[in-house]
Structure 1
Amino acid sequence: MPPKLSKVANKHNGVKGVEALENRHEKIKRELRDNLSDANGRLTKSESAIVELKKIITQKDEEIAELKLTLMNKRDIENQLKNAQKALESIQRSSEFVSNQVANLHRENNNLKDKINFLNNNILLAERNKEESIRDAVLARNSENIHRKKALDMNNQLNSLKLQSPSGGTKLKKYGDIRKTDTKISRVKRCLEFLKKDVGEDDFDAFITDFCHYIAKDPSFSYKNCLSDMDSFLAVVKFKFSDTVLKDLKKKFIGRSCEEDKEFWEEKNRYVIMLSI
């Protein structure tokens, strides 16, 4: 029989026993907490796996539904395959026709290329002809402008000459229809002024003298300032003029100017009128 312990020893042993129990309880609690944490982790993983499994199941359900739909549409697919086979056979039968058409298109394409080249050459030729036509038109227009300018210059010169002419560029009354002496004198003076501008004022008197002699000698004019052989013969026969009288008249008439002596011309005209009676 073991010896009895004192109260102090029993108390000390009781405290140790309580501590041992508490430590054991704490250890058990820790183990339980660890087991609970592991269980929670496994539970979380299991839930995630369950979610993934549900997704897979949903996907498989969809695939099964699609397979069911495919199986349901199998007849339609077979019909489509048959139609496709028929279309393929038709395409194969028409391949030769298509090849012939392609060959024809190649030939037509070559013909079109030849036509395009021909048209391009014609276009180039037409453009060159157009350029030449434009150049000719420009030259013709320039020539026309030059001729127009020359015509304008000639017209201006003509207008200037008309203004310088005796008529002054206006239509005058016919000389034979003039009855007034003043009008006749005005017409004569206008002609004389025109002749003076052409001949020159210094030589105008000599020109008028030569002009009067020329008119008197020209048989196409009726004006005379000397007696012809026939007039002299008639004067001698009719008025019985001697040769001396005729010579004096000739000396008196020759070499005189129309501007020198107005009375001389009046006397001369009287002699001519008298001899012509």
Structure 2
Amino acid sequence: MTAERFNEHRDLLTGVAYRILGSAADAEDVVQEVWLRWSEVDQAEIASPKAYLVRVTTNLAIDRFRWVRSRRETYIGPWLPEPIITEPDVSEHAELADSVELALLVVLETLSPLERAVFVLREAFGFSHAEIAEIVGRGEPAVRQLARRARDHVRERRPRFDVDRRQRKLVTERFIGACAGGDMDGLMALLAGEVTLVGDGGGKARAPLRVLSGAGNVAAFMTAIATEDGIAKFLRSIGAPPVTSIAMEVVDVNGGPGVVISADGHVITVVSLVVADGLIQTIYLIANPDKITHL
């Protein structure tokens, strides 16, 4: 019964932890710690298992976020959240899909740990201000203020993107074709003039150490790394042996169409695009092996 009750809420707990931390690995660690605490507590004294589990998960995630944020200060190059593969049926639930978008998770990195937790609980999972106050141990007026400040902050900084999934998928597929074919003109036609590319190699894989800006710079980089020589250099950067096959596939990444690039069946890069007005506004390229091995 202990495990059964816990597993009823496991997906919720993992979802809360992931959105607060931006890391699937850290989220799993938090949920495992919650399970250990749950298995040791006297459950007869717990009126609401869900409320208890969400409270413990949230507070452990807040503490862990404070710790990992300090480590990110020495991170090599831009830091991006750890991508997850989402099922198409999950992505159809707009609120939950939107709340794991990489573009949103990047903005959430600029919030304080407590603001981030309040935002996630309120905007992604619909907890009331009173419920959140109980979870984070703050008064309801303070929680309302935190929620409003976090929501305004996100609204000001969050990139807008096309909500039409079919158009986003079409642009993503054309993006793959242009990169794989070395079609500079075709790629330029897909990019907004002020497009940016944020690459996360973590010092362990070949990726830009600074944000690239401008259609010309981004197109030149993408077509260069898609060549045989570019792929060979990338594989050497992660210590991989020569491979026999490279595959690019459009899959659901963090609630929207994305690209998973594999070498001999092993994922080596994940790409997520922010698309607006039919053009690519931002490219997130995640190549740090530590962030994609779980895929």
TM-score interval for Structure 1 and Structure 2 normalised by the shorter chain: under 0.3
Task: From the two aligned structures, give the one with the greater helix fraction.
Answer: 1
Q: Of the two structures, which has the highest relative contact order with CA contacts closer than 8 Å and spacing of 6 or more? A: 2
Structure 2 length-normalised TM = 0.17
Structure 1 length-normalised TM = 0.18
Q: Highest CA radius of gyration, 1 or 2?
A: 1
